A and B are shown apart, each in its own frame.
Chain A
């Protein structure tokens, strides 16, 4: 699933590790999420959106 995680991460000057720590997942999960190679659960999508101060609809391109 395409998304704007990288864009939002850059906006808040967060590394992939920072975001992983904030969300409570492993760094690889953030890498695959950004590449659009992993479809997260609704819970994880919500946590990532919250960490990047946005909404799921803005973050993920359906």
Chain B
């Protein structure tokens, strides 16, 4: 139980650090550059991750208070399955980004083309979203295989 509390504390600490970094970065972006959707990608990604972590931390904190473990064999299976599926589906997402790079750049972000950090950021954001979606689905589905 003490181990679980320490783990949850470390996860919270990392989330706060990411949040602080995203806040500093967004302050720099807003004060120095013209704000475009493309320049906001490095802010959107940590926000997605933080949103997911906030949901995860509050749920797990309640469980620990009730004397439940942070994870068990089922939750480990759910995470493994969600990670495997999100990796598999994200390959198609990465392919879509490379094929429709022009569409994403021009129509969505109003840019000539996406630079490396925007492309990688979009890929990571897609993977994070897919992982969250799969985790949410399998955590509620019951039958894991």
Q: Tell whether A pairs with B.
A: yes
Count CB-based A-B contacts (< 8 Å): 43
Against B, the Cβ 8 Å flags (1 = close, 0 = not) of A20-54 are 11001111110010010110110110000000000
> Residue of A at shortest CB range from B71?
A26
Q: Are A28 and B139 in contact (CB under 8 A)?
A: yes
Name the interface size band of chain A.
Answer: 10 to 19
A17 within 8 A of B: yes
In the complex, chain A residues whose CB is within 8 Å of the CB of B67? 21
In the complex, chain A residues whose CB is within 8 Å of the CB of B7? none
Q: List 16 A-B contacts (CB under 8 A).
A: A20-B68, A24-B69, A25-B68, A25-B73, A25-B74, A26-B63, A26-B71, A26-B75, A27-B63, A28-B75, A28-B139, A29-B72, A29-B73, A29-B74, A40-B73, A43-B73
Q: Which residues of B contact A (CB under 8 A)?
A: 63, 66-69, 71-75, 139, 141-144
